[in-house]
Amino acid sequence: MNVVPDPKPGVMPVATPSLAGTVLSPEANQAAALATSTGVLTVDLDAIVANWRKLEKTAVPAECAGVVKANAYGCGVEPVGRALAAAGCKTFFVATLEEARALRAAVPPALIYVLDGFFQNAGEAYAKIDCKPVIGDLNELAEWDVFCRRSGWNGGAAIHIDTGMNRLGLTSAEAQGIIPRIKAGDHGIALVMSHLVSAEQLNSQLNAKQLTTFREIAGLFSGVPASLSNSSGVFLGAQFQFDMVRPGAALYGVNPTPEADNPMQPVVEVKARIVQIRNIERGETVGYGGTWTARRPTRLAIASAGYADGYFRAASANDGTRGADVVVAGKRCPVAGRISMDLMAVDVTDLPANAARRGHMVTLLGEGITVDELAHHFGTIGYEVLTSLGSRYARVYKGGAGPMERPAAPAASS
């Protein structure tokens, strides 16, 4: 086994000031940051906007909100929120108050709903940033009422009805029990909503059952806008769309119609740097456990990404199973051996000599490798792929308000 030196050794160019005190341009700063990064995650804000517009058009005349929880599915709540707001999105959903604070700072006019509910000590925090809790329990409703009476706050809330998920939400009987409140007026309920269990399955009987249940309950909430559909629900037809749809994963390129071609544009691209090229002989093994054996003299590119960066160990290859692919110099190349915490080996034997060199970037996500393909190799769903992408990548945003770059955080993973 031998390490192959770079055939043309040299120092990668880095933008540096020629004189002390010189201020670099944003482009030069970005070039300098990317030159020292072991990985780069690029988010296409224009693609997110295009996806939102497609969903909005599909749901007309319903309003199309934007779900930006979990840091906008790992894409960055501030830039994503600003891009969607500039495109015309007015209503947003997050999971926590902390996420709501970040979104409010980025998009001051936004109408924000917080999905994880209300606690009696959280009222002041809701009022301070003017966001609305999604209430799914009678105890929450009582605590919210107490806060509103004592404080005089009238910012409103959503009521979540459980129609089959058995996770959050009032039961049908509980929902019917608060109908007198609706008829009395001045009820403070801004939205009634539920959540689909199997929206991605077009022929699921659960879809029809939930639709019937929600339509009956929502009809009792006279004058209150209703919302049922998530990303996949948007494509189930007009009867599922009500007054508002709440797409999340589809905004970020995950296929909302897995039984058909993906109607969404890809959003995220991830690249990792080659830190070493090495040759091994036939019969040598690669990686922990020695589970992958070279069947020929093999050339390997060692890339600086692993499971600490959100590239799951499940994508590993062994002697009986092919793992995920990586794009190197425009060609798909297979992973060799187990994915490590910080590194992976890629078989580049079939590439032309010197096509892969130390310092070059390889593509882990993008160039035809979709988030859903990676999810298949990871044994999970696209949602988890996006929200697991690590914080060591330098993050670059293109489109939207213009290119931005955020240096990678020092933590190992998100």
> Which residues are part of the catalytic machinery?
69, 288
Q: Check: CB of residue 78 under 8 Å from CB of residue 401.
A: no
Q: Is the dihedral of CA 239, 162, 93, 121 positive or negative?
A: positive
Rounded Cα distance between 44 and 60, Å, is 25
- Residue 164, Cβ neighbours under 10 Å: how many? 17
Return the C-alpha torsion angle 314, 315, 316, 318, nearest 10.
90
CA angle, 226 as apex, 223 and 228 as ends, to 5°? Answer: 170
Please spell the DSSP secondary structure of 39-77, one letter per residue.
EEEEEEHHHHHHHHHHHHHHHTTSEE-EE-HHHHHTT-H
Angle, in degrees to the nearest 10, between helices 77-87 and 45-59: 50
Number of H helices, E strands in the chain: 12, 21
